[in-house]
Amino acid sequence: MDKSEEIDKLAIALAKFQGSLEQPSLNSEVEVETKTGGKYKFKYADLSECKRAAKQPLAENELAVCQLIEDDYSIRTILLHSSGQWISSKVRMPSNTANAQSIGSAITYAKRYAFCAILGIVADDDEDANIASGNTTQKEQPKEQPKKTANSRVKKELTRDHLNNESAMKSISEWLYNKEKIAKEANQPFSVESVINNAYIIGKVEMDSFVEIYNNYKINNNLS
């Protein structure tokens, strides 16, 4: 995360913004099919609904959000205050887009995630965090449950929809940071990719995006 030299006025304005904000309605729904054959649905607020909910509280607290597409295929989101103070963060977009439609979807996905993250907007059904964190929910009903043995367990798929879920990403980042702390205290090597691959089924592009999200989580929470 980058920021201006002083952010005290911005911090006060952001706190007032979050206190007066009415969270957006979950106006969209998506159904996701896992590689194990299960399906689940979750509701979320799309980007336009998030902006609608934030528009008036932002103006009342002299705040503004600017989002730019940078040369390294990332979205930079800047939160500005009328005093000139600012903070910014970057979210890398998936780069395996094959056509204009998929590029547009990737941009919208990255903008929505970054917009909500920098303002503290809750734009997802909280129960989705259970799915991304590997918990069993009624929403996921696999067609066939693989048998577990003493040396094996079923991995959950970590998809782009999970990456777009703030609650899920916070839960997984907290879990991963605890793993990293334990490894450091024991003077053991630690790799984000290794831990995530061991726990989840995840593609390369999604892995790259998650590493960026985890790094931003540590920066935003002043974690080493």
C-alpha span between 10 and 20 (Å, rounded): 15
Indicate the DSSP class of residue 157.
E
Both tokens of residue 222? 């002043």
Chain Cα centroid distance, residue 217: 9
- Going by C-alpha positions, the residue among 186, 164, 160, 158 that lies closest to residue 113 is 164
pLDDT at 136 over 50: no
| Residues 211, 54, 58: CA angle, nearest 5 degrees | 105
Confidence of residue 52 (pLDDT cuts 50, 70, 90): very high
What integer is the mean pLDDT of 123-141? 51
pLDDT at 143 over 50: no
pLDDT of residue 99: 59
- Per-residue model confidence as pLDDT tens digits over 154-201: 678 878 788 888 888 888 888 888 888 888 878 888 888 888 888 888
pLDDT of residue 128: 46
What integer is the mean pLDDT of 106-133? 76
Both tokens of residue 39? 């399906």
What integer is the mean pLDDT of 128-157? 50
pLDDT at 37 over 70: yes
- Per-residue model confidence as pLDDT tens digits over 9-34: 999 999 999 999 999 999 988 877 76
pLDDT of residue 95: 58
pTM: 0.56
Strand partners, 86: 80
pLDDT at 48 over 90: yes
pLDDT at 57 over 80: yes
- Per-residue model confidence as pLDDT tens digits over 66-117: 999 888 778 999 999 999 999 999 988 765 555 566 777 788 888 998 999 9
C-alpha span between 143 and 179 (Å, rounded): 32
What integer is the mean pLDDT of 200-220? 85
Positive or negative, the CA dihedral 166, 64, 48, 75 is negative
Whether 124 and 109 have beta carbons less than 8 Å apart is answered as no
